[in-house]
Amino acid sequence: MLRTPRAGRFAAALLAGLVLPLTGQPVVAEPAGPRDASPDTSSGASAGSKTPRPARVLERRLHRVVKAGGVGAVAEVVNPRRTWRLADGRATVDPRRAAKPGARFRAGSVTKQLVAVLALQLVAKGRWSLGTTIGDVLPGVWPERSDLTLRQLLSHTSGMPDYIVPLIAEAETTPEFLRAISRKRTPRALVRAAKGQPWVFEPGTDWDYSNTGYVVVGLMLRMATGKDLPRLVHNRVLRPAGMTQSKLARTPRVGWPRLHEYARLEGLQDLGRSHPSMFDAAGALVSTTRDLNRFHEALSRGDLLPPGLVRTMRSVVAVDEESGLPYGLGSYRLPDPCRPGKFVHGHDGATWGTYTWSFSSPDGRRRVTVAATGRAIDRSGRPIQQVFRFVDAAFAATCPGGPPRSAAGGRQGVEPWPAPPDARVAR
């Protein structure tokens, strides 16, 4: 939990908020495209086999996410032979519309992967290094901390305090909270809010998740290139990766089809007016499951960064002690269910009402993205755990021949995944 001298009712509760139960709808699977048209043979199950086909397993797992608390959920699971696109629950509550596999959603801190790529592109060009400091690019933004490096900012080892709590600290009622998250803010206003908080630790001595650090990197990118961040993201990441349905949002408008954003705050609240400027470079991305999987494919293929810098981005800098997850430069690492001792890479993302996981094998050939709406003030953890279990099952479905199993039926030799991290906003 973020360290702050004051956290009001919503500031304390929402940063630990998970999802409360809502009623979902049956799973909807998107019709197979050209690369999905072949028979489903990846499970190795015959017609009389008791082993469920991967598609059926994924449908059940996604339905559990909605049954445990989401309003709607979408997912895309890719291996070299198959692509599964799934949706469950509702895109909107009133009017009632079913979620669709191609729905757009607010991807939260998955944004940090794209911003890290933009920064490392400048490293690749020789304009920056990982030792480039705030003072080198923006000497007036945080003068007393001008020696913070790009590496520290991207890896959350800077100790920079987070701005989220102060922005909602005064909200004591649901209407006050909704007004607070619907205001348009500038990146420098977000940094000013963080400056009122105590420094968390001396740079480089520990790890603590900081949205502020990525907002600062966004400001550095604007200064170094002379372009605004949405344009940079579009030109240098989205377009090369073929992410045609994505954008770094400037307004609350998401577009259609979408997963409309909802949260449980004294009942189900419509968060369609919440403003993405509160997240900026830390989490303002709007995307789809297909686009986020395309990002991983393009990154792994070397279309966005040289291979050496992709390895640098994914190399562990520190470990999130709260979740046990190793972190690199805008990238988490998880054990690969298919290959003992190997890993998958990506990021999760949480806005006020949406939770996302998006991960890929190092070669980009096996990819899993899932997003669900309906986060709520509840410490049970069940819905987030169901998202986590979906990701686990989804990666297992991408294994050639299925994951290795022991005689007892469990996975053999596969490192167990750590518990999912606390779903802090813009995480």
pLDDT at 11: 58
Report which secondary-structure segment, H or E, holds 301: helix 289-301
Burial bucket for residue 196 (CB in 10 Å: 0-12, 13-18, 19+): middle
pLDDT at 38: 30
Give the number of residues written for the chain: 427
Contact 174, 271 (CB under 8 A): no
pLDDT tens, residue order, the chain (427 aa): 233 334 455 655 555 433 222 222 333 444 333 333 333 333 333 334 455 688 999 999 999 999 988 899 999 999 999 999 999 999 999 999 999 999 999 999 999 999 999 999 999 999 999 999 999 999 999 999 999 999 999 999 999 999 999 999 888 888 999 999 999 999 999 999 999 999 999 999 999 999 999 999 999 999 999 999 999 999 999 999 999 999 999 999 998 899 999 987 788 899 999 999 999 999 999 999 999 999 999 999 999 999 999 999 999 999 987 778 899 999 999 999 898 999 999 999 999 989 999 999 999 999 999 999 988 654 445 567 788 889 989 999 999 876 544 322 333 333 444 544 444 566 5
The torsion of the CA quartet 269, 275, 279, 280, rounded to 10 degrees, works out to 160
Domain ranges of the chain: 9-32+100-397
Q: How far apart are CA 34 and CA 53, in angstroms?
A: 20
CATH architecture of 9-32+100-397: 3-Layer(aba) Sandwich (3.40)
Would you state the structure tokens that stand for residue 240, as one six-digit string? 């090369």
Report which secondary-structure segment, H or E, holds 320: strand 318-320
Q: Which of these, 78, 213, 90, 93, lies nearest to 156 by C-alpha position?
A: 213
Preceding omega of 187 cis (within 30 degrees of 0)? no
pLDDT at 403: 56
Would you state the structure tokens that stand for residue 287, as one six-digit string? 């995307």
Q: Is 108 left (phi over 0), alpha (psi -120 to 50) or beta?
A: left
Contact 14, 168 (CB under 8 A): yes
Provide the 10 A C-beta neighbour count for residue 163: 27
Sign of CA dihedral 415, 334, 107, 216: positive
CA of 410: how far to CAs of 36, 59, 386, 396, 413, in Å? 29, 21, 19, 12, 10
Would you state the structure tokens that stand for residue 363, as one six-digit string? 């070669």
Contacts of 40 by beta carbon, 8 Å cutoff, 6+ apart: 53, 54, 55, 82
Q: How far apart are CA 156 and CA 283, in angstroms?
A: 15
Would you state the structure tokens that stand for residue 309, as one six-digit string? 């810098």
The 8-class DSSP code of residue 55 comes to: H
Contact 133, 145 (CB under 8 A): no
Q: For 194-237, give the DSSP string.
A: HHTSPP-S-TTS-----HHHHHHHHHHHHHHHSS-HHHHHIIII
| C-alpha atoms less than 13 angstroms from C-alpha of 264 in its C-beta half-sphere | 17
pLDDT at 377: 58
